[in-house]
Amino acid sequence: MGFQFAPIQFPGRLFVVEGVDGSGKSTQIALLRQWLVNEGYTVFFSEWNSSPLVKETTSRGKKKHLLTPTTFSLIHATDFADRTEKWIIPPLKAGAIVLADRYVFTAFARDAARGVNSEWVHNLYNFAVQPTVAFYFRTPLDVSLSRILGGRAELKYYEAGMDLGLSADPKESFKLFQKRIMEEYESMIEPFHLTVMDSLAPIQDQQRLMRELVEPHLSGLYRNAPTRFISGRSGSPRGRSKERSL
Amino acid sequence: MTKMQFYGHNSMDFEAPEDLLPGRLFVLEGTDGVGRSTQISLLRPWLESSGFAVVDTGLRRSPLVGKGIDEAKRGHTLGPLTMDLFYATDFSDRLENIIIPALRAGFIVLTDRYIYSLIARATVRGANRDWIEGVYSLALIPDAIFYLKVDIQTLVRRIVPRGFDYWESGMDLRLGDDLYDSFVEYQKQLLKQFEQMKDTFHYQTIDASRSIPQVFAELQKRIEPLLPLE
């Protein structure tokens, strides 16, 4: 494998969600965020491909089909670097919780699916901070395909992997490309200790499990008084137990 | 011929790495203000008048990224890692879409800086040397690399008329109280990096403290034997 995260430790915690489009990971991390905020934690949310400095370049490249597998890889690494320097490391240093919707694994999977040398890509990203827990939302290929193809009128060029020339038909290309990406994710589970989530399970069950898995990592973090709701169930996996209230 | 040889990985999956490209790749390197662009503006007409088709390229001229870097540098919010990778994207875009196609078509490619300046800058800004060299391992090995070298005093004299620039002075590193102090310290550190890389990358050092025609004559002398035969 040969990948090393940056050899640095921060007082904060980093939880990331990974998986193909349509796996429900964004829904789950939004619910996790809501729970953590209500529980009184300081939370920062960071999304893939969101750096304002890099955004225009990426969209220009995508719109005009200027990107090769190498520059596709590099522009996303640039975006990730900006987010790491500005929005991931500082909150972690401050002892906050950072939630990331997609992380380096997205890059590893996509770049490998585009045929970029993995060793080179792993070196490229070795400034990344190691996540506390990385959740991988596993979705069977046909489910993810029907979720995306069913809900969207048109597939975007790079999203469908059209740059690879796998097929002239965007849908067909998308299927082949998604299959490759999934295979890459599967191969990363073991070496990267990804926590596999069943994205076919009911949303509430997935969320309950996620909270259970996150909770043990929260001890020692700064916490405000939790927000109490008058009605409705508590978001805590075991219910709000007496010994945990402040 | 330019041998299709990369420093590390042929990450771009070009055809057989032993392919020979009919063109030539010449690199002019050196710190800010050593006269690289002046020399390129002399070399180009010289080569063209001898019948060679020439493409010249330089940092931030990528159609994909050039504008984005300029915009990012305008506000001073560009972190060192982000800058390194932005430049690496610019470099790769030009390598894949300009330099290699031109070499394939038999052009002489003159490039104002290559990966060496970028490695030097990144290192001075705290990047790990193995990391940045790994990023640039996808670069094609040039036919010749000319490192235009001047001492710091000469450099300062040349920069004064055009004014000190924020980034050329490494102001983001806060190496000195003002542009001048910072420029001197920053350029000194870059010069040191260039010296250290000399043996790794085998560049030819050209004394650029001499007059423009003298430097040009030396470059001509060194380039001529490397040109394709008619």
ipTM of this model? Answer: 0.89
pTM of the full structure: 0.90
Tokens standing for residue B202: 């085998």
Per the CB < 8 A criterion, the answer to whether A136 and A28 are in contact is no
Region of poorest pLDDT, from A45-59, A87-101, B182-196: A45-59
CA angle centred on A26, ends A21 and A31, rounded to 5°:
155
Find, among A152, A140, A39, A150, the residue nearest to A97 by Cα: A39
Find, among A239, A235, A242, the residue nearest to A41 by Cα: A235
Beta bridge partners of B147: B29, B205
Asked if the C-beta of B71 comes within 8 angstroms of chain A's C-beta atoms, the answer is yes
CA B148 to CA B13: how far, in whole Å? 32
Q: What pLDDT score does B18 carry?
A: 56
Maximum C-alpha span of chain A = 61
Stretch A38-42: mean pLDDT, rounded? 96
Q: What pLDDT score does B7 carry?
A: 84
Q: Within a domain: residue B108? A: yes
Beta bridge partners of A223: A41
B-chain residues near A128 (CB < 8 A): none
Per the CB < 8 A criterion, the answer to whether B59 and B117 are in contact is yes
All structural domains of chain A:
13-218 (3.40.50.300)
- pLDDT, averaged across chain A: 90
The one-letter amino acid at A65: H
Q: Nearest by CB to A57, which of B9, B64, B80?
A: B64
First to last CA, chain B: 13
Q: Within a domain: residue B111? A: yes
Stretch B203-228: mean pLDDT, rounded? 96
Q: Return all residues near A26 (Cβ < 8 A) that are at least 6 apart.
A: A17, A101
Quickly state the pLDDT bin for B17 (edges 50, 70, 90): low
Quickly state the pLDDT bin for B3 (edges 50, 70, 90): confident
Asked if the C-beta of B85 comes within 8 angstroms of chain A's C-beta atoms, the answer is yes
Place of tokens 């069943």: A198
Stretch A175-182: mean pLDDT, rounded? 94
Region of poorest pLDDT, from A131-140, B66-75, B102-111, B179-188: B66-75
Region of poorest pLDDT, from A50-59, A232-241, B184-193: A232-241
Mutate which: B10, B11, B71, B97, vs A, most A CBs within 10 A: B11
Quickly state the pLDDT bin for B118 (edges 50, 70, 90): very high
Q: Within a domain: residue B123? A: yes
Q: Nearest by CB to B96, which of A54, A70, A119?
A: A70
Q: Within a domain: residue B203? A: yes
- Is the Cβ pair A74, B11 closer than 8 Å? no
- Is the Cβ pair A81, B67 closer than 8 Å? no
Q: Within a domain: residue B176? A: yes
Quickly state the pLDDT bin for B162 (edges 50, 70, 90): confident
Q: Nearest by CB to A74, which of B68, B85, B131?
A: B85
Q: What percent of chain B has pLDDT over 90?
A: 69
Q: What pLDDT score does B11 carry?
A: 57
CA B130 to chain centre: 19
CA B206 to CA B221: how far, in whole Å? 12
Q: What pLDDT score does B186 carry?
A: 94
Region of poorest pLDDT, from A193-202, B3-12, B37-46: B3-12
- DSSP codes, A52-103: HHHHHHHHHHHHTT---HHHHHHHHHHHHHHHIIIIIHHHHHTT-EEEEES-
Q: Is the pLDDT of residue A211 over 60?
A: yes
Quickly state the pLDDT bin for B230 (edges 50, 70, 90): low
Q: What pLDDT score does B72 carry?
A: 86
Query: Which residues span the domain enclosing B41?
Result: 2-10+21-222
A-chain residues near B63 (CB < 8 A): 66
Distance from CA of B32 to the nearest CA of A (A): 24
SS (H, E, C) chain B: CEECCECCCCCCCCCCCCCEECCEEEEEECCCCCCHHHHHHHHHHHHHHCCCCEEEEECCCCCCCHHHHHHHHHCCCCCHHHHHHHHHHHHHHHHHHHHHHHHHCCCEEEEECCHHHHHHHHHHCCCCHHHHHHHHHHCECCCEEEEEECCHHHHHHHHHHHCCCCCCCCHHHCCCCCHHHHHHHHHHHHHHHHHHHHHHHCCEEEECCCCHHHHHHHHHHHHHHHCCCC
- The CATH number that applies at residue B99 is 3.40.50.300
C-alpha R_g of chain B: 17
Distance from CA of B147 to the nearest CA of A (A): 27
Q: Is the pLDDT of residue B61 over 80?
A: yes
Stretch B121-125: mean pLDDT, rounded? 95
Q: Nearest by CB to B92, which of A71, A81, A117?
A: A71
Per the CB < 8 A criterion, the answer to whether B20 and B5 are in contact is no
Region of poorest pLDDT, from A26-35, A112-121, B10-19: B10-19
Per the CB < 8 A criterion, the answer to whether B195 and B120 are in contact is no
- Is the Cβ pair A82, B79 closer than 8 Å? yes
The domain total for chain B is 1
CB pairs under 8 A between A and B: 97
CA B24 to CA B109: how far, in whole Å? 6
Per the CB < 8 A criterion, the answer to whether A49 and A158 are in contact is no
Asked if the C-beta of B8 comes within 8 angstroms of chain A's C-beta atoms, the answer is yes
**Nearest residue of A to residue B127 by CA position?**
A127
- Is the Cβ pair B82, A53 closer than 8 Å? yes
CA B179 to CA A158: how far, in whole Å? 44
**Nearest residue of B to residue A82 by CA position?**
B82
State pLDDT tens for residues A117-144.
999 999 999 999 999 999 999 999 889 8
Q: What pLDDT score does B16 carry?
A: 59
Q: What pLDDT score does B15 carry?
A: 59
Tokens standing for residue B189: 């550190």
Quickly state the pLDDT bin for B40 (edges 50, 70, 90): very high
Q: Within a domain: residue B230? A: no
Q: What pLDDT score does A242 carry?
A: 43
Quickly state the pLDDT bin for A244 (edges 50, 70, 90): very low
Quickly state the pLDDT bin for A92 (edges 50, 70, 90): very high
Q: Within a domain: residue B227? A: no
